[in-house]
Amino acid sequence: MNTPDTLFYDGQCPLCMREVRLLERLADGHLRMINLHEVPSAPGEPGQLEMLKNLHLRTGDDEWLTGVDATVRAWSHTRWGFLFKALRLPFIGTLADATYQYWARKRFQHLYGCAKCMDVE
């Protein structure tokens, strides 16, 4: 039996929760979702602060994906996954990554009011 992918999400982010609820409805059963505010980070995992800054997904093969790569992988568990693969095309991928990083930074600052901790790793 294959180990499912695990998506780590920010349960205090309304937009994140909207996407998680949609994924819960549409996913194929091989995607687990964990609210970062409900469990502590396990040894060998990125810290909670790092995972709150950017979406993280651990594949069933224990590979870590972040940002757009995590989104594409999560949506690959739905029938709509083929649409998200376009986000990895050369020009579109570069634009998607830059847009996501900008949005993630603004989202974190808005939710947590913590501009200084954005530089903490």
What digits encode the pLDDT tens for the residues 33-88?
Answer: 999 999 888 888 999 999 999 999 999 999 999 999 999 999 999 999 999 999 99
Give me the sign of the Cα torsion angle 16, 20, 26, 28.
positive
What pTM was estimated for this model as a whole? 0.89
Domain region containing 40: 5-119
Which of 31, 103, 43, 11 lies closest to 73, judged by CA? 31
Strands (E), the chain: 5-9, 31-35, 56-58, 64-66
The structural domain count of the chain equals: 1
What percentage of the chain has pLDDT greater than the value 90? Answer: 83
- The sheet carrying 31-35 orders its strands as 31-35, 5-9, 56-58, 64-66
Mean pLDDT of the chain: 92
Length of the chain: 121
